[in-house]
Structure 1
Amino acid sequence: MYSLMMRTIVMISTKNMTNLYWFCLSVECGGFAAASVKANTSAPTVSRSVANLEVQLSEKLLHRDSKKFQLTNAGEEIYNKFSDLFRGLDQQWLSLSNAQGELTGEIHISCPEPFADFFLQKLALEFMTQHPHVNIHVHFASDAESFISEQIDLAIVTMPATDSHLVQRKLFETELALAASKNYLNQRGQPETARDLLKHDVLAGNNFPFWLLREGTETIKVPIKPKYSVNSLRLNIQAAIDGAGICLMPKVALEHLAALDKLEPILTEVECPKGSAYLVWTDRKMIASRVVAFRDLIFDRMSHNAESLWRNMFS
C-alpha cells in the first residue's frame, strides 16, 4: 500500500501535489480559512492553490461564496480519489512518529477553568515530567467554538461540539440536582413543583437557554432567564451558597455541600438532565503522537476520577 502511494506521488509534480493536498484539506476543514490554519499558511494562498488546480484540470471543483462551500461533481470525484491517499500517508507518517522513542513539541488544550484547577494541571505537569520535550498550553473555554482559530489540539467541553469537522468522545456523565441555600429558601420559600422555578431566581451559564426537567410523567421545559449568569459552574454554585438563587449542579457535589450545611437539595422528586463532558479533537488523521498520548491519558484518568473531581472542586 505504502509503495503504491509513493509511486503515485512520484508521478505528480510537487506543485500539483501541494495543490491537491490543500484542496483535500479545504474540503475536510469546510473552508479555506480553517484549512489555512491547519496548513500553517494564509487563506488566500490556499484559495489560489485550489484555483490553480482548477485551471490545471480545466474543471470547476468548488462552488464557493461567502455563504457556501460545496463540491462540484468533478470536485467530489477528485476528492474521493486523493483524500484516502493523503490519509494513508498521514497514517504512515504517524506510525513513523510513534515509533520514535521520544515525544516532542507543543500541545494546546482548552477546558473550563475548574477542570484546569482540579484535574488538568496536575495531569499536564505529570505528562511533561514523563516527556520533558513536550510543552503544554492550557486555554480557558467551555466550548469548541474557537478550536480552529486558536489552533487547539484538544478541548474539554461541557456543550457538545457542533462543527462536523471535529470529533468528540464523552469523558463522563453525571447526575444533576437542584439546590439553594437555607438563607435563600427562608426569604423566597421552597418551590413545590418544577413550574414554581419560574417564580424564582435561577443561576446558570450563558449557554443554557432552558432546563429540561421531568416531574412524574410530565416533561417540563423551564426557560432560563437567570438573575445572574456566569459561564463557570464553580462560580454559579458559589453564588447559590451565597444566597443568590437556585442552581443545577452535580449531585455528588451537592451531597458533599449539603453535609457541610452550605446548600439544600430542592425538588428531589424532579428528574434533572444529566451533565456531560466531552473531549474534542480534529478529525484529521494526521494527529501528532504527543497529542494522542496526552488524549489517551486524559481518558484513562478521567474514567476513574470523575466523582472525586466534583467533590474536590467544591470542598
Structure 2
Amino acid sequence: METLANLESFVRSAEQGGFSPAARQLGLTPAAVSRNVAMLERNLGVRLFHRSTRKLTLTEAGERFLLSVRGNLEGLQAAIANVASERGEASGVLKVSTALNFGIEYLLPLAPSLLSRHPGIRIDWHFESRQVDLIAEGFDAAIGGGFELSPGVVSRPLAPAHIIAVASPRYMEGRRKPNDPTALRELDGIVMRSARTGRVRTWTMRNAVGREQTVELREHLVFNDPAAMTRAALLGLGVTLVAVPDALPHLESGALVRLAPRWYADAGPISIYYASRTLLPAKTRVFVDHVVDAFQRERLAERFAGSLA
C-alpha cells in the first residue's frame, strides 16, 4: 500500500511544478521529495513526471493519477489529524511566519512551554516583513497585521496595532515635547516608505475624544522597515511613528519616550492567521490556542493599546 508521504510529495510537486518548491511547502529537502516520487513511480510501475534540468511536467499517466488522488489527499490528511487530535497528540513540522522583531520579542519566548507540552512539534520559524500566502507556501500559521484574507484562510484577532510617536530622551534634550501631532512636524522625521506604493507613509492620528489630525513628518531619514526606524530613534536621530509592540520594550526601559502621548493611529488588529479546515491539524490548533492564551495572560492587547496611555 502506498505511503501518504509519497502521495503528498507527488501532488505538491505537480501543483508547484518542481521538487524544490514542493519541499519548501512540505518542510522536506528536495532530495527527499524526489526520492518519495521515485518510490511512488517504482511501486506503480509507471513514470509520472517528465524530468528536465529546467522543469517538471506530468506524463499522461501522471495527469490521470493526479486527478484520481488530489481530491482524496486532503480528506486523508484531515482524517489522520483528527485521529491524532483525539489521542491528544500534536506533532510534525509547524511552519510559522511573523515579523522579525515581533517574533523574537513576543512569540519566541512562548516556544519553551509549547514544546515541553508537545515535544513532537518542530517549529520552522520564518521571520520576514511580508504577507505570506499560507496555502500556496505551505504555512501553518502567520502572525501580523493587515493581511488580506484569501479564500480558505481565517484570522483570529490578538491585539490592536496602534501607531505612536516616539523619540529618545537624548534627542529631546533642549526641545519642547509635543503634546499633539501638529507639533511633530517641527522635529526630524524618521519615516517609512511603502514597498507596495513607493510612497512615504502618512498616518491619521486620533485621541480619546475622537479628534483627528493627519501627520506628515519632515523627512529626515527614510526606511522600509519599522525595526530600522525604531533603531534610528534609539540612536537619537529623530522622531518616528511605529507600532506599540516595536516601541514597548524601549518605552518600559526609558530608552524611548512617547510624544503626543494621548494620540495614536489605528492600523487595524494584530491577528493570527491559519488555513480554514473542518479538521484543523493538532499541531496548528495547539499553537493557535497557546498564542491566544499567552496574549490574554500577559495582557498584551491592553499593553499594545496606544489609546490607553
TM-score range normalised by the length of the shorter chain = 0.5 to 0.7
Structure 1, unmatched stretches of 5+, are 1-17, 57-77
**1:93 corresponds to which of 44, 66, 80:** 80
Deviation at 1:173, TM superposition (A): 0.8
The residue correspondences of 1:240-251 to structure 2 (distance < 5 A) are 240-250=233-243
Paired residue for 1:212?
A: 203
Corresponding residue for residue 141 of structure 2: 154
CA contact (8 A) 2:166 2:259 kept: yes
1:265 pairs with 2:232:
no
Work out whether 1:302 is the aligned partner of 2:295: yes
List per-residue Cα deviations over 1:179-224 (Å, max 9, x = no partner): 2235445688766874665675433455474233146766637489
- Name the residue aligned to 1:129: 116
Q: Which moved more, 1:191-200 or 1:159-168?
A: 191-200
Kept in 1: contact 2:170–2:236 (CA 8 A): yes
Change (3 A) 1:240 1:284: same
Distance in 2 (CA, whole Å) between partners of 1:304 and 1:110 is: 22
* Cα distance in 1 for residues equivalent to 2:58 and 2:277: 20
Separation in structure 1 between the aligned mates of residue 117 and residue 167 of structure 2, nearest angstrom? 43
Q: Does 1:289 align with 2:286?
A: no
Closer/same/farther in 2, CA of residues 182 and 300 from structure 1, 3 Å limit: closer
Is the aligned partner of 1:145 residue 2:138?
no
Cα deviations by residue, 1:106-139 (Å, 9 ceiling, x for unpaired): 2222222233333322221212112222222322
- Distance apart, 1:160 and its partner CA: 1.5
Q: Aligned pair in 2 of structure 1 residues 276, 239: CA closer, same or farther (>3 Å)?
A: farther
Q: Is the 8 A contact 1:241 1:263 kept in 2?
A: no
Instruction: Describe the SS at the equivalent of 1:301.
Output: helix
In structure 1, distance between residues paired with 2:59 and 2:213:
51
Matches within 5 A, 1:66-81: none
Tell me, yes or no, if the aligned pair for 1:143 and 1:157 is still in contact at 8 Å: no
CA distance in 2, matches of 1:87, 1:144: 24
Is residue 204–residue 213 contact of structure 2 (8 Å, CA) maintained in 1? Answer: yes
User: In the superposition, relative to structure 1, how do residues 151 and 128 fare at CA in structure 2: closer, same or farther (>3 Å)?
Assistant: same
**1:297 to partner: Cα distance:** 0.9
Aligned with 1:160: secondary structure?
coil
Distance 1:203 1:178 in 2: 10
Aligned with 1:127: secondary structure? helix
Does structure 2 conserve the Cα–Cα contact (< 8 Å) formed by 1:258 and 1:265?
no
Taking structure 1 as reference, are residues 292 and 187 closer, same or farther at Cα in structure 2, changes over 3 Å only?
A: same
Code of the residue aligned with 2:238 in structure 1: it is G
Query: What is the RMSD of the two structures over their aligned residues, measured on CA atoms?
Result: 5.0
- Aligned counterpart, 1:202: 189
Secondary structure of 1:273's partner?
A: strand
Instruction: Return the offset for 1:100.
Output: 2.7
Once residues 255 and 241 of structure 2 are traced to their aligned partners in structure 1, the CA distance between those partners, rounded to angstroms, is 17
Mark the CA change 1:224 to 1:93 in structure 2 (over 3 Å): closer, same or farther. Answer: farther
Deviation at 1:35, TM superposition (A): 7.9
Q: How many residue pairs are counted as aligned between the two chains?
A: 269
Letter in 2 for 1:241: L
Contact 2:192–2:225, Cα closer than 8 Å, also in 1: yes
Aligned equivalents of 1:265, 1:204: Cα separation in 2 = 15
- In 1, are the aligned partners of 2:95 and 2:124 still within 8 Å (CA)? yes
Aligned counterparts of 1:200 and 1:44: Cα–Cα separation in 2: 62
Gaps of 5+ in 2: 1-6, 35-48
Flag the 1:228–1:221 CA change in 2: closer, same or farther, 3 A.
closer
Counterpart AA for 1:210? R
How far does the alpha carbon of each residue in 1:216-264 deviate from its partner, in whole angstroms, 9 at most, with x for none?
766637489671425244x433321322122123558569738837424
Specify which of 271, 282, 286 is matched with residue 278 of structure 1: 271
Q: CA deviation at 1:298?
A: 0.9
Residue in 1 that maps onto 2:223: 229
CA distance 1:243–1:187, shift in 2 (3 Å): farther
TM-score normalised to structure 1 length: 0.60
The one-letter code of the counterpart of 2:87 is Q
Alignment of 1:1-20 (within 5 A): none
Percent of aligned pairs with the same amino acid: 19
